[in-house]
Amino acid sequence: MKLAKLPRFNLAEFPTPIHFLERLTKSCQGPDIYMKRDDLTSLGMGGNKTRKLEFLVGQALSQGADTLVTAGGIQSNHCRLTAAAACKVGLDCELVLNGTKPGIPNGNLLLDTIFKARVHYCQRENRDETLVQVAQDLAASGKKPFVIPIGGSNGIGSVGYVNAMVELKAQLSAMALKPVAIVVASSSGGTQAGLALGAKLMGFTGEILGISIDQTKIGEDSFLPVLAEIAKETATRIGSDMMLKETDFSLNCDYLGAGYAKPGDLEFNAIERLAQTEGILLGPVYTARAMGGLLDLVQKKVYTKGQSILFWHTGGTPELFAWADRF
């Protein structure tokens, strides 16, 4: 692998810690539950996108870019961290957010404002078109935009999670810990694709289980080909001949609820349970849905006593403030 030779800009301190969730484990009466704390990355209130952005920003700088351009929902964690990264490296940032501009920004949108990102609001169906138009307008005005896909999920960004598995292997070895599964929220796919590829390369034999936040794995809308394609791009970028197939990915789509960014009882119960047993906060869109799914799987005895599970906390806690009325 040529990980060390790829363009990269350091945005946080690694490794992030692994914590044993003792009180949650006792309350579940099931497997030992550990948590990989990527919510504790130091940039812009933390989150998994920092790992991807280290390589994306590195590539942008290597190409002489002066503006980062990306898109997401109005409470996008990825957009918030892209705006923070732009501040840290001295670049401009333009965000395309699907939604209506509120009277008073809160949650991630408030942080986007503090980071001085320029926000373009649009309808969801027009988001991709608007992203292209914003980049074209910037180029026409003499700027040098670097467009980052939704979630930073491409062969560049996903390298960050291959690198994370290198980091994890050393931690698990030091702890003599052998989890039967790593459970992680999966949406745009870059995190899960990177973890799955990294697991194969590092010899990790446990399951990499993505709890889907908004994607499906059956029919014409199946997300498995997307995961395989991202992993292929990533492998090529790091100089590996490891090619993953659709069957190499484990994606649970049983917890989609009312849809993306529409948390319900599953998510809010998980938020309160983690907060009140461990003092750890989850984000209602991603990590709460994934944790809610894990807790349900434990209750159904898919994972049982005597086993160890690693939950990968991907961040997103600033989202909580956008759902203050639910609490």
Poorest-pLDDT segment among 109-113, 206-210, 321-325: 321-325
Q: Which pTM was predicted?
A: 0.97
pLDDT at 259 over 90: yes
Dmax (CA) of the chain: 61
Q: Which of 76, 187, 212, 308 is catalytic?
A: 76
Q: How far apart are CA 175 and CA 17, in angstroms?
A: 11
3.40.1280.10, 3.10.129.10, 3.40.50.1100, 3.40.50.1220: CATH of 3-47+155-326: 3.40.50.1100
CB 41 within 8 A of CB 23: no
Q: Give the pLDDT confidence score for residue 1 in this predicted structure.
A: 81
DSSP alpha helices (H): ranges in the chain? 22-28, 49-62, 77-89, 107-114, 127-140, 159-175, 190-202, 224-237, 265-278, 287-299
CB 94 within 8 A of CB 120: yes
Is 76 marked active-site? yes
Whether the domain at 3-47+155-326 and the domain at 49-152 fall into the same CATH topology: yes
Task: Give the mean pLDDT of 229-246.
Answer: 97
How is domain 49-152 classified at the architecture level of CATH?
Answer: 3-Layer(aba) Sandwich (3.40)
Instruction: Classify 84 as helix, strand or coil.
Output: helix
* pLDDT band for position 217 (cuts 50, 70, 90): confident
279-290 per-position pLDDT tens digit = 999 999 999 999
Residue 242 identity (one-letter amino acid)? M
170-202 burial, b if ≥16 CB within 10 A, otherwise e? eebeeeeeebbbbbbbbbbbbbbbbbbbbbbbb
Task: Give the mean pLDDT of 182-194.
Answer: 98
> How is the chain split into domains, by residue range?
3-47+155-326, 49-152
* DSSP state string for 230-251: HHHHHHHHTT------GGG-EE
pLDDT at 118 over 80: yes
Q: Give the pLDDT confidence score for residue 157 in this predicted structure.
A: 98
pLDDT at 103 over 80: yes
